[in-house]
Chain A
């Protein structure tokens, strides 16, 4: 199986090359994907790009939907910004 190495909140993670960033985050003990304006934790819900609850920072770009983004080698992901 082809795998990809990426970083989630500074932790090295290895996942199948076909995984989404949301799936990669789900394999880690990340507290949550993001926080609501009132500070409540949010996580991937619909898994198909509609609910926007899985937004994370990827390679410095904020508000990227993790469920719609395939993992990439060396990708830097930050949750709960």
Chain B
């Protein structure tokens, strides 16, 4: 039997961040990960560090987390690239909404400003003609999430954390877990298992929200900013069974990462040609030059989605010594570092830097 101060189930970007924070706090940490570190939704993601402003709680967590990401700006493993985020408006109606979004982002400590159509095309000449304007958030960045997860796990291991690689949690006990090889680990347990949460904790509602991405050959200089449509949040935060939104990212290599799609209740991880076509046709309307590029690979990933779009961060009511950090949907990379610090502060009985109430798992158990 092995005794720990914290057993972290799951070594995606969220679990890895939590294990790292716990080890910094001096805790004896175990990490249990059945697959490669950072190999689940983390490896499928775009790695865009972005603040969305339409939910105040999500914005607070994103801004808190983005400040913590600055510590990784010069870490080689992060492949941190400060490309900025450029939101594009299709029409005057979307332009009219920009001022309020700029105000919300700036009030939360971001730096956003509106750009007129002329400036939009100076920033990104490859955008389709006829767009009305946009909003630029210059300091936002992109990273390569699986390598960051691996780095964070390695940092935790250097402080004594024990990685149980290739093992999964078969059963939760009272302040203990039984692994699939029959071994018993005892201590407080943190579930950072993303979409696998319902298997261990079915009382917290969570469902997969499938997404497609495509990566192209290298075309350096074609696009400089991560570019999204301002209507993106309608897709991300709407509850339609399926939706697509324009979201293209320049990788530091010159490759372009093209998204995005959202589908509830699709368990099959295979690429859907029909959904890929719908996603790309939508992207071509914003950036016709994409049509000429060579796609190298398309893949899918499953975002862990909670009913209200906020992650579960905190103690699980009625289960002593059981904690959860899961359900980050499409913002898990952005919010991982802040989520981890907030969770470990709660675990240690410290006051978190931001109000933890909106993320409490208790909200869905009332």
Contacts and interface: CB of A to CB of B under 8 A. Distances in A.
Contacts of B218: 37
A63 B253 contact: no
A62 B217 contact: yes
B219 interface: yes
B294 interface: yes
Interface in A37-79: 37, 61-63
Nearest to A81: B220
Interface in B242-273: 253
Contacts of A61: 292
Nearest to B255: A37
**What interface size band does chain B fall in?**
under 10
Contacts of A37: 218, 253
Contacts of A62: 217, 219
A61 B219 CA distance: 11
B133 to A, nearest CB: 30
Interface residues of A, number: 4
A69 to B, nearest CB: 15
Contacts of B219: 62
A63 B218 CA distance: 9
Interface in B315-341: none
Q: Which of A37, A61, A62 has the most CB of B within 10 A?
A: A62
Contacts of B294: 63
Interface string A8-28: 000000000000000000000
A63 B222 CA distance: 14
A62 B217 CA distance: 9
Nearest to A60: B292
Q: Which of B218, B219, B253, B294 has the most CB of A within 10 A?
A: B218
Interface string B204-227: 000000000000011100000000
Nearest to A55: B217
A63 B217 CA distance: 8
B285 to A, nearest CB: 22
A77 to B, nearest CB: 18
Contacts of B253: 37
A17 B219 CA distance: 30
Contacts of B292: 61
A37 B255 CA distance: 10
Contacts of A63: 217, 294
A5 to B, nearest CB: 27
A57 to B, nearest CB: 11
A62 B294 CA distance: 9
A63 B255 CA distance: 12
Interface in B171-224: 217-219
B36 to A, nearest CB: 21
A58 to B, nearest CB: 13
B291 to A, nearest CB: 13
A5 B218 CA distance: 29
B147 to A, nearest CB: 15
B251 to A, nearest CB: 10
Interface of A: 37, 61-63
7 contacts: A37-B218, A37-B253, A61-B292, A62-B217, A62-B219, A63-B217, A63-B294
Interface of B: 217-219, 253, 292, 294
Leading 7 A-B pairs by shortest Cβ distance = A63-B217, A37-B253, A63-B294, A62-B219, A37-B218, A62-B217, A61-B292
